[in-house]
């Protein structure tokens, strides 16, 4: 990807602000709507989409049979070229001069407009956003809001340039203009082309979901109608289709239903009531192959709701023209791998910060971050610096043995320059300081050698080597709640290896930790973590990487410490100290979202009497070591997010921040200038447990 | 000066020509459960941006149409799927508030539908309503499809007993009938494509209404 292009985007603060706010509000709407849906709708959808993922070839055959039985002309295109040839030949044979299209990402994938135009056929996009990007000579930057990157002024200017008409730069006036401008095309077009949101295998019907009414006009007005559908849109039955129809609008636009759901059959309701000529083109183009790739097949569940785009921190900053190909954003990385190749996908994948928010937002639970990690792994494009970052734990262990030296090195301008050029750690990034010593030493052998306990504490790198005060507090708080605790020597979670796509190394680390923890789990222990990323690795990533029964057992037993205390803990009533009176902002770490419903930490702090507020802005932008790296694949993007998050936090009037992630703490402290503390410190304070090992530099 | 009131009545006869479509409700009487579901449906429709009304008697239909039409600029009318009596009721209600209507009778649809685009009202028969989402179903009826799509203003009519609870209640209809096409309408046409600002009225109707009746529509 052109670095200059990225720097150009990063220099346009207004564009980033607009996108940031738009995506924030889309995420909020979508989350609200999804939460209000009956859970069985989501379960039904997941089951339906898993069925498609596992039985794609069979369902394709069934669809072809039933659509043909209904009199539909069906063509299965193995490749994009075959699909293009079929449609262009058909248009030529029927003397088509003008085609009107409703929104379709599959036709974008095929580059159908180009093929038709090259054959001398005029193509008019009729979805407002698609029409705008068509006039601009661009491609959609967002799969459901194609022109979200353009301002109202940009669009008004475009209309003036391309249609020579001056329109007021207001969404209402622009919309009125296009309503009038496109009407003649609807009346005169010979052929209509639609995409498909669903294809129902049991009877071959195609379903499209729209708001503007253009989809209905495209299916009603012309004499020839063609629907182009990626074969992953197939569901077996109407019952399953209804699950898609209930969840898709909620996840996409935060509504119960879009304005129009059009079911197209071979006797679509054309304007003369006659049977139009109807063709269904089913496109494979890599989909069946993806169904046999363990790490890619989940993408076939995608219902194109765009929730993953809206929530993605990288997408919010860079937009779809950089963080994407034809398909944009998180799902775009996977769909680039399916419809193009892994190498093309890895070019986009490098901007993924591995926050996992896309997984938390996806209504069909596609593990996009892990698939992206596999894409990085398969591409072999990882850099030496990335390899060095996977050794972060060794660096931390060394730092804890020579704290003065390391703290000095991290503080000196000259060594920061060296660190930047060798390790690629941006010199502007505020670093954690080393306390000296480590958790295992501080706790003593009793915890290290315990063979049985109610709870096993998994500290991860930060609480082992950097601020082991958190680890001590975790053990003391657990004991104050009546739990016996063991702290066996485990490796760090290995997140950098997952993040940068070093899967064999990630596997080794996962195997080592699972081996260590499984004997405890077999004896009924729970595993608790103070670092959300560690809990994510144990409960989400390891079972998928290893696939073993042991890793699944460990996953089931794992929870975040604060979540455990929120559900099971019985903290004694004690008088509150000063913190109860100061305004605390709670930052919800990305990885915590996958582990528990709601925000247990915030709820617990409130229950304990602290004054806590929060805003759900998503990722703070650091994402482990990613935001420490120099350049566009690190600090530059990370700081764009960090600054915007900081503005939101500071506007609440908060005086300090509570969170559980050590790296989020680093980012929030750097950009807000506020004190950031681990939630366990507030709980310990409430319980009257002395925090002797805290210092001003820790969190 | 030759001045007279001329009336436009453009009636799409498709539903009659095809024969009456079987309705969603099995029972024709409207009990209190059906009425409640009807109200629930209308409330959802209202949230979706429809104008809504529940009318108990045929005579009350006229006042709803005259009230709504008073706010709309209507010069032509497209009606689909309704009985002669209802057409007359609606037509009379409209001319009571709109005196400038020109009459034009056509045997077939013109190739240019522009006449029925701006300043036009479409009234159509809804096959069923979906209470959970506030959706109006138009099934296999190209006349109702046009009347609910082309004009600037549209009104759909259905009986309270034709409201079903959710989409799944339609499964058996979809299986039993070899449907040629179906539309579920859950609001006026809209877009958020420019800076995500919600704008009503894109390629479909700018305003849409729905009337649930406590009496049978097809008598
Ligand atoms: S993991 Fe985070 S950064 Fe990566 S694609 Fe998903 S949301 Fe975007
Ligand atoms: S990957 Fe999931 S969240 Fe993203 S568009 Fe597909 S279904 Fe929606």
**Quick one: residue A254, left, alpha or beta (phi over 0 = left, psi -120 to 50 = alpha)?**
left
A172 band by pLDDT with thresholds 50, 70 and 90 = very high
A127 part of contact set with chain B, CB < 8 Å = yes
C-alpha span between A576 and A585 (Å, rounded): 18
Tell whether A584 and A537 lie within a shared domain.
no
Out of A258, A285, A312, a domain closes at A285
What element of type H or E holds B61?
helix B58-70
Whether residues A213 and B189 touch (CB distance < 8 A) is answered with: yes
Identify whether A452 is part of a domain: yes
Whether the CB of A624 sits within 6 Å of ligand 1:
no
Chosen domain end from A548, A566, A584: A566
Structure tokens at A523: 């004896």
How far is A46 from A44, CA to CA, in rounded Å?
5
pLDDT at A243: 98
Tell me whether residue A122 is in a domain. Answer: yes
Which residue in the block uniquely carries the two structure tokens 């924030």? A24
Kindly tell me if the per-residue pLDDT of A336 is higher than 50: yes
Asked if the model's pLDDT at residue A446 lies above 70, the reply is: yes
Q: Which two tokens stand for residue A252?
A: 């996409």
Domain with residue A422: its CATH number is 1.20.1050
Q: Which residue has the higher pLDDT, B7 or A200?
A: A200
**Where does the pLDDT of residue B219 fall: very low under 50, low under 70, confident under 90, or very high at 90 and above?**
low
Atom 2, ligand 1: which residue's CA is nearest? A355
| Contact present, A368 and A333 (Cβ < 8 Å) | yes
In a domain, A200, yes or no: yes
Pair A556, A498 in one domain:
yes
Of the three residues A261, A285, A309, the one that is the final residue of a domain is A285
C-beta of A312 in contact with ligand 1 (< 6 A): yes
> Which candidate, A345, A347, A354, places its Cα nearest to that of A327?
A345
Which residues, 6 or more positions from A81, have their beta carbon under 8 angstroms from its beta carbon? Answer: none
For CA atoms A324, A495, A556, A375, give the dihedral sign: positive
Question: Does residue A351 sit within a domain?
Answer: no
* A151 close contact with B: CB closer than 8 A: yes
Residue at A365 is within a domain: no
Q: Is B184 helix (H, G, I), strand (E, B) or coil?
A: strand
Q: Six-digit token pair at A306?
A: 């765009």
Residue A390, pLDDT above cutoff 70: yes
Amino acid B177: pLDDT: 82
Same domain, A73 and A164: yes
Yes or no, beta carbons of B185 and A259 under 8 Å apart = yes
Specify if B83 maps to a domain.
Answer: yes
Q: Which of residues 125-164 of B touch A (CB under 8 A)?
A: 132-135, 138, 140-143, 145-146, 149
Q: What is the CATH number of the domain that holds A681?
A: 3.40.50
Whether B218 is in a domain gets the answer: no
Residue B2 placed within a domain = no
pLDDT band at residue A570 under the 50/70/90 scheme: low
Give the Cα separation of A521 and A452 in Å (integer): 9
Same domain, A407 and A259: no
| Interaxial angle between packed helices A679-687 and A600-607, expressed in degrees from 0 to 180 and rounded to the nearest 10 | 30
A176 with A232, same domain?
yes
Report pTM.
Answer: 0.92
Q: What is the pLDDT of residue B22?
A: 40
CB atoms within 10 A of CB A114: 11
Residue of A396 and A241 predicted with greater confidence: A241
The structural domain count of chain B equals 1
Length of chain B: 219
Instruction: Write down the pLDDT at residue A85.
Output: 98
Among A19, A160, A648, A135, smallest CA distance to B196 is for A19
A308 lines ligand 2 (CB under 6 A): yes
Checking if the pLDDT of A138 tops 90, the result is yes
CB of A305 shorter than 6 A to ligand 2? yes
User: Looking at the domain assignment, is residue A699 inside a domain?
Assistant: no
- Give Cβ neighbours of residue B117 (< 8 Å, ≥ 6 apart): A183, B150, B151, B152
DSSP string, A490-506: -----HHHHHTT-HHHH
Q: What is the pLDDT of residue A695?
A: 58
Instruction: Say if residue B164's pLDDT is above 60.
Output: yes
User: Could you give the number of structural domains in chain A?
Assistant: 3
Pairing of strands A675-678, B207-213: unpaired
The Cα A111–Cα A233 span in angstroms is 19
A147 Cβ under 8 Å from any chain B Cβ: yes
User: For residues A691 and A125, which has the higher predicted lDDT (pLDDT)?
Assistant: A125
Regarding whether A560 and A432 lie in a shared domain, the answer is yes
Residues of chain A in contact with residue B138, where contact means CB-CB under 8 angstroms, are 269
Residue owning the nearest CA to atom 7 of ligand 2: A302
**In a shared domain, residues A579 and A520:** no
What is the pLDDT of chain A when averaged over all its residues? 93
Give a yes or no: residue A660 inside a domain.
Answer: yes
> Would the CB of A328 count as within 6 Å of ligand 1?
no
Mean pLDDT value of segment A313-324 = 95
What pLDDT, on the 0 to 100 scale, is given for residue A63?
98
- At residue B109 the predicted structure's pLDDT band, cuts being 50, 70 and 90, is low
Burial of B33 (0-12, 13-18, 19+ CB in 10 A): exposed
Whole-angstrom Cα distance, residue A655 to residue A675? 8
Q: With 0-12 CB in 10 A as exposed, 13-18 as middle and 19+ as buried, what is A39?
A: exposed
B73 in a structural domain: yes
Instruction: Tally DSSP H helices, then E strands, for chain A.
Output: 37, 18
**Section A245-260 average pLDDT:** 97
pLDDT tens by residue, A60-73: 999 999 999 988 99
What are the tens digits of pLDDT across the range A142-171? 999 999 999 999 999 999 999 999 999 999
Q: Does A11 reside within a domain?
A: no
Quick one: average pLDDT of A383-392?
88
Band of residue B33 on the pLDDT scale cut at 50, 70, 90: confident
- Structural domain span for residue A512: 389-566
Question: Which among A614-628, A683-697, B151-165 has the top mean pLDDT?
Answer: B151-165
Q: Is residue B1 part of a domain?
A: no
Q: What pLDDT digit, counting tens, does each position of A479-534 carry?
A: 999 999 999 999 999 999 999 999 999 999 999 999 999 999 999 999 999 999 99
Measured by CA distance, the residue closest to atom 4 of ligand 1 is A352
Pocket residue to mutate for ligand 2, from A300, A304, A369, most atoms within 8 A of Cβ: A304
Six-digit token string for A117? 């135009």
On whether both A550 and A605 belong to a single domain, the answer is no
Q: What is the mean pLDDT of residues B45-73?
A: 94
pLDDT, mean of residues A120-143: 96
Q: Are residues A217 and A275 in the same domain?
A: yes
What per-residue confidence (pLDDT) applies to B10?
Answer: 46
Q: Could you give the residue ranges of the DSSP H alpha helices within A428-537?
A: 439-443, 445-449, 460-461, 468-480, 495-499, 503-522, 532-536
Q: What integer is the mean pLDDT of B13-21?
A: 37
Nearest to A584 by CA among A601, A597, A600, A568: A601
B185 three-class SS: strand
Residue of A nearest to B203 (CA): A213
Indicate whether B15 pLDDT > 50.
no
Contacts of B46 in chain A (CB under 8 A): none
Residue A430 CA, ligand 1 centroid: distance in Å: 23
Closest-CA distance of chain A to residue B137, Å: 9
Which of A228-242, A392-406, B82-96 has the highest average model confidence (pLDDT)?
A228-242
Q: Measured between beta carbons, which residues in chain A are less than 8 angstroms from residue B191?
A: 128-129, 175, 211-212
CATH code of the domain in which A259 resides = 3.40.50.10420
Show the tokens assigned to A18: 């607009």
Read off the DSSP letter of residue B79: E
String of b and e for A460-479 (b: at least 16 CB within 10 Å)? bbbbbbbbbbbbbbbbbbbe
- A522 shares its domain with A582: no
Q: Where are the beta strands (DSSP E) in A195-323?
A: 198-200, 205-210, 224-230, 234-235, 260-264, 277-283
Would B41 be classed as within a structural domain? Answer: yes
pLDDT > 60? residue B13 = no
SS3 for A292?
coil
pLDDT band with cut points at 50, 70 and 90 for residue A431 = confident
ipTM surpasses 0.95: no
Q: Which of A243, A278, A248 is nearest to A260 (CA)?
A: A248
Per-residue exposure over A567-603, b if at least 16 CB sit within 10 Å of its own CB, e if not: eebebeeeeeeebbeeebbbbbbbbbbbbbeebbbbb
| pLDDT of B29 strictly over 60 | no
In a shared domain, residues A556 and A594: no
pLDDT score for B19: 35
| Cβ neighbours around A452 below 10 Å, total | 12
For B155-177, what is the mean pLDDT?
94
Assign residue B133 the CATH number of its domain.
Answer: 3.40.50.10420
Same domain, A579 and A562: no
Alpha-carbon span A260 to A217, nearest angstrom: 11
Expressed as residue numbers, the domain containing B184 is 8-20+32-213
Over residues A116-143, the mean pLDDT reads 96
Region A458-484 average pLDDT: 93
């Amino acid at each position: 990807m052109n670095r200059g292009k990225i720097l150009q985007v990063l220099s346009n603060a207004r564009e980033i602000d607009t996108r940031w706010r738009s995506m924030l509000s889309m995420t909020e709407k979508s989350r609200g709507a999804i939460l209000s849906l009956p859970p069985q709708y989501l379960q039904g959808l997941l089951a339906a989409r898993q069925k498609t993922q596992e039985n794609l070839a069979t369902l394709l055959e069934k669809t072809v049979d039933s659509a043909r039985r209904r009199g539909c002309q069906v063509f299965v295109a193995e490749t994009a070229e075959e699909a293009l040839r079929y449609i262009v030949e058909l248009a030529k044979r029927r003397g088509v001069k003008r085609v009107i299209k409703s929104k379709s990402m599959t036709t974008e994938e095929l580059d159908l407009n180009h093929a038709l135009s090259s054959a001398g056929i005029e193509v008019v996009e009729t979805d407002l956003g698609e029409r705008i990007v068509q006039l601009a000579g661009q491609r959609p930057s967002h799969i459901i809001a194609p022109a979200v990157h353009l301002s109202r002024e940009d669009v008004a200017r475009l209309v003036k340039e391309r249609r020579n008409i001056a329109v007021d730069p207001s969404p209402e006036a622009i919309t009125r203009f296009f309503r009038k401008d496109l009407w003649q095309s609807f009346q005169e077009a010979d052929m209509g082309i639609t995409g498909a949101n669903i294809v129902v295998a049991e009877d071959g019907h195609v379903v499209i979901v729209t708001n503007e009414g253009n989809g209905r006009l495209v299916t009603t007005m012309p004499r020839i109608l063609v629907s182009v559908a990626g074969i992953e849109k197939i569901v077996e039955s109407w019952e399953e289709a209804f699950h898609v129809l209930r969840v898709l609008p909620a996840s996409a636009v935060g509504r119960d239903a879009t304005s129009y759901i059009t079911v197209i059959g071979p006797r679509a309701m054309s304007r003369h009531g006659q049977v139009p000529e109807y063709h269904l083109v089913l496109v494979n183009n890599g989909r069946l192959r993806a169904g046999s790739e363990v790490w890619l097949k989940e993408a076939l569940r995608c219902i194109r709701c765009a929730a993953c785009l809206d929530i993605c921190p990288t997408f919010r900053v860079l937009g779809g023209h950089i963080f994407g190909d034809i398909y944009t954003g998180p799902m775009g990385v996977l769909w680039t791998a399916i419809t193009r190749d892994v190498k093309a996908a890895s070019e986009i994948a490098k901007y993924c910060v591995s926050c996992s928010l896309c997984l938390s937002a996806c209504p069909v639970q596609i593990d996009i971050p892990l698939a992206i990690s596999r894409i990085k792994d398969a591409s072999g494009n990882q850099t030496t610096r990335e390899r060095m970052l996977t050794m972060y734990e060794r660096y931390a262990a060394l730092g804890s043995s020579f704290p003065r030296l390391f703290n000095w090195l991290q503080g000196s301008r000259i060594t920061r320059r060296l660190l930047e050029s060798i390790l690629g750690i941006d010199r502007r990034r505020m670093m954690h300081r080393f306390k000296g010593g480590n958790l295992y030493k501080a706790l003593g052998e009793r915890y290290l050698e315990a063979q049985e306990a109610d709870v096993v504490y998994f500290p991860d790198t930060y609480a082992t080597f950097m601020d082991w005060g958190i680890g001590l507090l975790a053990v003391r708080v657990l004991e104050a709640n009546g739990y016996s605790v063991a702290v066996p020597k485990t490796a760090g979670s290995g997140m950098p290896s997952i993040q940068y796509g070093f899967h064999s190394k990630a596997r080794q680390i996962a195997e080592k930790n699972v081996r260590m923890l499984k004997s405890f789990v077999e004896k009924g222990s729970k595993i608790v973590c103070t670092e959300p990323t560690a809990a994510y690795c144990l409960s989400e990533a390891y079972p998928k990487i290893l696939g073993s029964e042991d890793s699944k057992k460990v996953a089931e037993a794992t929870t975040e410490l604060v979540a455990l205390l929120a559900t099971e803990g019985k903290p004694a009533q004690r008088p509150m100290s000063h913190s109860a009176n100061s305004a605390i902002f709670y930052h919800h770490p990305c990885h915590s979202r996958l582990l528990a419903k709601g925000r247990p930490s915030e709820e617990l702090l409130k229950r304990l009497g602290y004054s806590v507020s929060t805003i759900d802005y998503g990722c703070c932008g650091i994402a482990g070591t990613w935001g420490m790296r120099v350049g566009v694949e690190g600090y530059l993007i990370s700081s764009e997010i960090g600054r915007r998050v900081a503005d939101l936090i500071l506007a609440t009037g908060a005086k300090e921040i509570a969170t559980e992630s050590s790296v989020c703490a680093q980012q929030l402290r750097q950009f807000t200038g506020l004190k950031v503390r681990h939630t366990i410190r507030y709980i310990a304070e409430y319980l009257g447990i002395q925090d002797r090992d805290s210092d001003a530099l820790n969190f | 000066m030759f001045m007279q009131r001329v009336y436009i009545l453009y009636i799409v006869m498709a539903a009659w020509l095809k024969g009456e479509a079987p309705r969603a409700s099995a029972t024709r009487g409207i009990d209190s459960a059906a009425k409640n579901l009807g109200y629930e449906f209308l409330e959802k429709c209202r949230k979706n941006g429809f104008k809504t009304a529940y009318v108990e008697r045929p005579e009350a239909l006229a006042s709803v149409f005259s009230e709504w039409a008073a706010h709309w600029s209507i010069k032509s009318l497209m009606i689909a799927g309704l009985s002669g009596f209802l057409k007359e009721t609606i037509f009379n209600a409209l001319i009571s508030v709109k005196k400038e209507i020109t009459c034009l009778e056509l045997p077939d649809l013109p190739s240019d539908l522009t006449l029925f685009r701006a300043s036009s009202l479409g009234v159509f028969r809804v096959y069923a309503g979906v209470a959970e989402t506030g959706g109006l179903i138009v099934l296999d009826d190209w006349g109702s499809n046009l009347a609910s799509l082309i004009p600037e203003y549209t009104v759909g009519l259905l009986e309270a007993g034709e409201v079903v609870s959710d989409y799944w209640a339609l499964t058996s209809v979809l299986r039993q009938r070899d449907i040629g096409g179906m539309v579920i309408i859950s609001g006026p046409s809209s877009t958020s494509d420019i800076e995500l600002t919600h704008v009503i009225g894109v390629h479909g109707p700018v305003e849409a209404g729905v009337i649930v009746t406590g009496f049978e529509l097809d008598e």
